[in-house]
Chain A
């Protein structure tokens, strides 16, 4: 399961909202047994030619993220990117480029607002499979983001 600290939910959403291009970045945190806890995000430059519909992170920026994780005793947990005006479901392009181990968090942005956040990982059949994503709040309240997007609800 993937847990996202509530404290990074706002920066994560802010990093993709109000953008017409796809946005992307890195997810850092820790892995404890089967669980992954995302405690930090880092927005990356979208290096794709068609940024409206695709994203690409340069090898140089990828290596910088690996080094950042090592130097800060963090784990590079995965990648996030937005789908402007599209659902938070991986495309064939997402699947082809997906790497083992990583969690791929996709944010659906409708009318410049985040409508859904879902996480996916590559399974042994090289298909992207959804993994449960929860928001972890410092008051020990854990809730599924998809089912209860509003913690006050």
Chain B
């Protein structure tokens, strides 16, 4: 079973659980397992195309899945998967 670290902003959707264990072979399977148990997580972990949104980073152990196989990245048994929100912003004149 892999351990998933839930960041503070998303704990309100996991009954305040900070760590969960999930049986999954890939990051996508892991997200689907989480969403099955905690449906309100879906809009924060998957966009309309079924991809991880740009403002969420996911690390399998110490590796960013964007440098691996994205949502298809393998999750080994006993892996630690960290969900890390992107923390960013800017002053109003940076509007696109």
Taking CB atoms, residues of chain A closer than 8 Å to B59 are 59
Give chain A nearest CB distance to B57 CB in angstroms: 5
Taking CB atoms, residues of chain B closer than 8 Å to A70 are 18
CB-based contact A66/B94 at 8 Å: no
A-B contact count (CB 8 A): 100
Q: How far is the CA of A79 from the CA of B88 in the complex (A)?
A: 9
CB-based contact A92/B88 at 8 Å: no
CB-based contact B9/A87 at 8 Å: no
Residue of B nearest to A104 (CB): B89
**Is A29 at the interface (CB under 8 A from chain B)?**
no
Partner pick for B96 among A83, A92, A94, A102, CB 8 A cutoff: A92
Given that A59-B57, A59-B84, A92-B95 are known contacts, is A75 also in contact with B8, CB under 8 Å in the complex? Answer: yes
**Is A48 at the interface (CB under 8 A from chain B)?**
yes
Partner pick for A54 among B7, B8, B18, B90, CB 8 A cutoff: B90
Taking CB atoms, residues of chain A closer than 8 Å to B95 are 91-93
CB-based contact B8/A93 at 8 Å: no
Taking CB atoms, residues of chain A closer than 8 Å to B85 are 62, 99
Give chain B nearest CB distance to A26 CB in angstroms: 9
Residue of B nearest to A102 (CB): B9
Partner pick for A97 among B64, B84, B86, B93, CB 8 A cutoff: B86
The interface of chain A, by Cβ under 8 A from chain B, is: 22, 24, 48, 50, 53-57, 59, 62-63, 66, 69-70, 75-76, 79, 81, 83-87, 89-94, 96-102, 104
Nearest first, the 3 closest Cβ-Cβ pairs linking A and B are A54-B90, A99-B9, A94-B89
The interface of chain B, by Cβ under 8 A from chain A, is: 5, 7-12, 18, 44, 55, 57, 59, 64, 82, 84-96
